[in-house]
Each structure stands twice: as C-alpha cells, then as structure tokens.
Amino acid sequence: MLMTMVAGIAGNTLLTALAEAWKQGRGPLRRIKTYRGSAATLALCFLLVAPITYFYQLLVKEEVWIYIGVQCVNSFLGGGVFVLATDVMYSVTTKDRRATTIMYCYLVEHFIGDGPGPYIAGAIADAYRGDDKGPEAEVEALLKAFRITNLVVIPAVVFTVLACFFMPGDYKRNVEAEILLDELEKEEDPEGYQEKHKSR
C-alpha cells in the first residue's frame, strides 16, 4: 500500500512537470513545444495504463511481488491523471464556465467511478461465484469482476486521444473568449482592471 502511494505521488509530481515542460518547450522538449502538453501526456499515460491494468491482475496468483511492482508502475502512470485532466479543462474552458465544467466532471467521476465502483465489482464477483464460498472461487470471481470493471479504461483512452486531437479548435476559441472577457472587464472597470494587473 505504501509503495503504491509513493509511486502515485511521484507520478503526480513528475508527470505534471513533464506536461509543463512540454507546454513551455523546456529542455529536450524545446523542439516539440505544444499547448497540448497536458493532453498528450494524459493520452500517453492512458495508452500505457490500459494494457497494464488488464494484464497485471493475472500475476496475482503467479508472483505477488511482480504484481506489486507492476501495480506501482500503474499507480505512477495514473498519479497525474486528475491534475492533467483539470489542466486540459482549464485550457479549453473560459474562466466563467470552469466551475460548472469541473462540477460536472466530479459528478460523473463519482457517479460511475469512486462511489458505486466497489459495489459494482462486488455484485459482478458474487454473480460469478454463485454458491461456491471457497477462497479460491472468491479470488477467481473477484479477478473476473475487476477485469470487467477495468474495461472503463478503454473509453478513457478513446476520449483522451480525441480530446488531444480536437483540442486546437477549442483552445483557440477559449483564448479568443478570454481576450474578449479581458477587454470587457477593462471597459467596465478600468481602475479595477489596472489595479488587478499591477498586482500580478
């Protein structure tokens, strides 16, 4: 548990730094600088997480330490997902709509993920196990249930790749809308606008 937690924190830190470096064109990423840095990093993480998530559970009954090691890799890759996804949302959503966008994302995440996830996996496992109450049957049923519930990673991969691909239009519209909102704010309250930008 501690190992996967440390791997998740490391993934969050390093993958976010990678995405920022990609966006700003720092170091070896100078030549491939792109505002799609966060979306591209997120897509790469999901493309790696998808097969790992499915296959690493097959190792549970074979070699537990290899299983834990692979789980740490998975935790590392998944560690930055929330931060990177939020950054993508900020890049394509104007500031007057961000709170609503993030609220809907939270609702969807908890409605189909964190909230009912354990119940759904348990219900599938119970259906597979049937009347067999033995420990081996229980483990087999849980593994099958997790393989089914982990299929949600596939649409995550598809949506992330599509978001990365279609991002330019949304990003451009967002930048134009931000400039327009900035100009309106300047017209409505010139003194307040100057004060705000002086403090930056």
User: What is the extent of the structural domain holding 148?
Assistant: 2-198
Helix (H) or strand (E) holding 184: helix 153-188
Q: Is 155 exposed, middle or buried (0-12, 13-18, 19+ CB in 10 A)?
A: exposed
pLDDT tens, position by position, 73-119: 888 988 888 888 888 888 888 777 888 888 887 787 777 766 677 78
Rounded to whole angstroms, the Cα distance separating 17 from 10 reads 11
Task: Give the domain CATH number at 74.
Answer: 1.20.1250
Number of domains in the chain: 1
Task: Check whether 181 has a pLDDT greater than 80.
Answer: no
| CA-to-CA separations, 3 to 47, 53, 56, in angstroms, rounded | 23, 17, 16
pLDDT at 198: 64
Question: Within the chain, how many helices (H) and strands (E) appear?
Answer: 9, 0
